[in-house]
Amino acid sequence: MANTYRLKGHESFYLREGWLTKGLRAVHEDPRVFFTNGGADALGVGTNMAKSIRYWLKTAGLIKDSAKSGAELTEIGKIIFDNDLYIEDIFTLWIIHINIVLNYAAATSWAVFFNEFDLSSFKRDEMNDLMKRLLIETTGDIKLPDRSIRDDCTAIISMYSNSREENVDPEDKKVSPFANLGLLKQNGQLFSKEQPLQSLVDPLIVLYIIRDRLIEEKALSIDEIVEGKNMPGKLMNLSRILCNEHLDRLANREYIIVNRTAGLDMVYPQLVPEKEDILRAHYLGDTPKHILIEDSGIKVTESFGRRSKKR
C-alpha cells in the first residue's frame, strides 16, 4: 500500500505538443515564472493550463521549484534543454515517459496503468473499471473519486493513443507527441497495448531504466527485467525477445554482462554511467573514456562533463 499518491494533477490537460519546450524555456529565462500569476501570462496560456505545464515539467523530473528559490532546471532538464529543446528526438520522449511512469507519487494512474493494468485490449469503460480497482488496491483508499479516475484514464488514452482525426492540422497543439512511442493503439472503440518498433528504442533507454537496480543489487534476472515492476518489459510494453535483443546490444557496448549459461539468464553491471551521462551518451554519441574500478568489480564512469550541442 502506498501512502503518497495523486490523481488528476494535470488539471485535465494531457501533455501536448510544444508544452515542454515552452516550459523549459520559460524556467530557463525566469526562475520566478510560476510564481507570478501561476505562469499564465509568461506562458501565454490560461491559469489551469499553466498549472498543468508546471505539473508535467515537475512530474517528468525536468524542473524542481520552491517558493523561496523559484524554479530551476534539473540536470536532466538542462541536458534536454541543451540538446533537444524542441523534443524532436524520440529518445527524449522515452526518457520523459519513463520519468513520469516512475513518479508514482505525482502520476499514480500512469504508474498503475503501465505496471498493473493487464488487459491487452479494452474499451474505455473496461479501462475505467479496472483502473478503479487497481488504484484502490495500490493506494488503500476506497473513496477515490470516480471522476478523477475517469479523467486520468482519458488523459492516458489521449496522450498515448495513435488515434488521429482525419485532415488533422499537424500544428494542432492538442496532439500529443507521446503517441509516437507506439504504446497504445486505437481501433474504433477498442484500445490495445502495443510493443514499440525496435527501431524506436535506443537500448540506452533500457539501461536508463535498469541502471539503479543494477547498481544496488549487483545483478538482475532477465525474468525480472521483462516482468518486474518498473522494469523495461512493463514500462515499454517490451516482449522477452525484444528485451533480450536490447540487452545484447548493451552487452556488445560493454555496459552490462549477460549470462545465459546453465539457464542462469542473469544480467550484471559492467560499465555503469550516471543516469545523466546515459543521456549525454545518446545525444553526444560519446563513449566514456575514463573508468573507475570499484572493489565490487563494477566499472563506474566518470562524468562526461558539461558539453552540449549548439542549438
pLDDT of residue 161: 93
Q: If DSSP codes are grouped into helix, strand and coil, which group holds residue 304?
A: coil
Q: What separation in angstroms does the CA of 155 have from each of 13, 60, 144, 214? A: 7, 15, 17, 32
pLDDT of residue 286: 62
pLDDT of residue 163: 61
Per-residue pLDDT of 160-180, as tens digits, reads 997 644 344 444 457 899 999
The dihedral built from the CA positions of residue 1, 127, 99 and 290, taken in this order, carries a sign that is positive
Quote the Cα angle for 58-61-65, to 5°. Answer: 45
State the DSSP string of 211-242.
HHHHHHHS-EEHHHHHHSTTSHHHHT---HHH
Q: If DSSP codes are grouped into helix, strand and coil, which group holds residue 116?
A: coil
Residues with pLDDT less than 50, the chain: 1, 164-172, 289-298, 300-301, 303-311
Say if residues 1 and 32 touch (Cβ distance below 8 Å). no
pLDDT of residue 171: 42
User: Which residue from 198, 252, 24, 238 is spatially nearest to 34, judged by alpha carbons?
Assistant: 24
Query: Rounded CA gap, 12 and 180, in Å?
Result: 21
Per-residue pLDDT of 71-89, as tens digits, reads 999 999 999 999 999 999 9
Q: Is residue 250 within a helix (H) or strand (E), and if so which, with residue range?
A: helix 240-252
User: Which residue from 94, 95, 81, 93 is spatially nearest to 310, judged by alpha carbons?
Assistant: 81
pTM: 0.90
